[in-house]
Structure 1
Amino acid sequence: MVSEIKQVSGSGIPLVGNDIDTDRIIPARFLKAITFDGLGEGAFIDDRTALKGEHPFDQPQYQGAKVLIVNRNFGCGSSREHAPQALSKWGIQALIGESFAEIFFGNCVAIGVPCVTAETETIKKLQELVAANPQAAITVNLETLQVQIGDFTASVFIGEGSRNMFVSGSWDACGQLVANAEKIRETAAKLPYIGWGKLAS
């Protein structure tokens, strides 16, 4: 089943700070989970505990937000795929930032969460606009490569390969494998390797 992602719209949530690593996004103790279910509750849990309700992910005005606006080098540190999963389970469907750690970015693409980048001034403006009006709809358009909130519109960037994967729906590699299971079996059965035919059947 093709799942095209051409744009994401919803309220935003600003998270100010550079070099926010994956251990802050989801602490290592959560990595023992067998599934990703429930990880949303652990997103930024140590930061949230330290800030006693003042972290954006705890503040009532940002509940239900779909677009996370961050700064530079977001998702650095260990390569845990639990980090984007925790954000996704919390409700985040897209991220806008100055820059993202490469592996974090790739893990986001794998689960259908686009990460677009923008100039520092644009990010600051977006964070200010969302803080001033948390219920305002913010739209990330992957076809026009623009972000819009109210009367403010700015350009965003994502690599052409990743953009095409989202827009065409080809980002979902697992979904494509499941959808083409019969064709895979047919191809595997024709391979000359010993045992392939038996495994495929």
Structure 2
Amino acid sequence: MIRTIAFDVGETLVRDDRYWAAWADWLHVPRHTVSALVGAVVAQGKDNAEALRLVRPHIDVAAEYQARDEAGQGEYLDESDVYNDVRPSLAALRQAGIHVIIAGNQTTKAGELLRALDLPTDLIATSGEWGVAKPSAAFYERLISVSGTAAAEILYVGDHPQNDTIPAHAAGLRTAHLRRGPWGHLWADAPEVVAAADYRIDSLMDLVGILER
């Protein structure tokens, strides 16, 4: 039985458009260039930060992030960043008695921004707040601990095979791979994703049907 459903953030709940556009503007390159490079590194199975290193080979991403923040160009989220199926699906899951958690690889500030959106959840946490990030097994151990639920009763939903579907499966959680965003679409039919995913979905509203079945 599924008692808890936990969600990744980027390209699962919120669009990454603003994130990459902000980096392009900060680095003074066309937004299309950064988008294309992100796609290229995704196709190679690399971390998305490699796209920034292709633009500026010796970039210190953490230092540039801080500089952006100090310049008033740091992280920002509002309702326009949230996918249309997020609020209705999360609300329906909670109404069905599911414990809803958001837990992804984001900064501490992103955690604050997510909580400010007042999404229908029971808990929001980020890797920045926990001090451990996906795909580390320690991230999923922390998730299991804070959920108060057995691993086999947790469904982790995400778009990224290497950060979400595969490591969550290895940690004993059930998994739902979401066909959304570059990772979700590109790797949807990869054998390792098919093997690790209990469910393969196109919309978060599909989760309501899974529970009903």
TM-score, normalized by the shorter chain, greater than 0.5: no
**Bigger helix fraction:** 2
Higher relative contact order structure (alpha carbons within 8 Å, sequence separation ≥ 6): 1
